[in-house]
Amino acid sequence: MVKTSEEDIILSYNDVVLRQSDLHILSEPEFLNDRIIEFYLSYLHSQFPSPDIMLVPPSISFWITNCPDVESVKHFVEPLKLLEKKLIIFPVNDNIDLTKAEGGNHWSLLAFERDANLYVHHDSLGGYNTCHAKRLYEAVVPHMESSSTKSCGRFVECSSTPQQKNGYDCGLYVLAIARVIWLWYSSSGPKDEGLWYSSVEQQVTPSVVSGMRRDILKVISSLRNEK
């Protein structure tokens, strides 16, 4: 029998490399790491592609949030062509140490909707990450203004965001909320005045979130079988 290592590569998907240790995280009640977050966002994008939407990888969100040099942020953000996007979703992490890319203890989500010119923060732990989301907002907002934009987008905390019942499912809530927002925007139906708020509140249930570990493992298994 061949022994497996935690560092064994089990799947390369787009720019994301998943390892055996990632399967263990998904199989247990553990905090999701950057690789799993990035993998699922990349998968979501490939399933429902749209040139108007961008799902930002966690590493990019982290760097924008914590880079101390404003000019470096400008040069880094320009190639992303954020001005061309109608909907942008940023994962938010509470890590503030640039030397620890896999650090942090909590995930939340910041979504920008251009037509409403609004940055909406969804936090499944009662606003725990609000200060980090505002730092990301303040860092990115100067690079999101176009000639047709009347003012800087407003930051709001979504008070109706479903709340986690434990200390480790925050990453799953981020992925579940990102999926609902993505589908809300991609749907051909009319958009209500409350943006995606009611869709998130109704569809991101404890049972849906708890089933996401199994769902992501099934996606990984399916993609591995295609190789």
- Report, as residue numbers or ranges, the catalytic residues: 106, 123, 170
Q: Which residues of 165-178 are buried (b: 16+ CB within 10 A; e: fewer)?
A: eeeebbbbbbbbbb
Indicate the SS3 state at residue 81. Answer: coil
Q: Which residues are registered as beta bridge partners of 157?
A: 121
> Cα separation of 191 and 113, whole Å?
12
DSSP string spanning 135-187?
Answer: HHHHHHGGGS--TT--SPPEEEE-TT----SSSS-HHHHHHHHHHHHHHHHHS
Residue 148 one-letter amino acid: S
Helix (H) or strand (E) holding 30: none
| Contact residues for 146 (Cβ-Cβ < 8 A; gap 6+) | 83
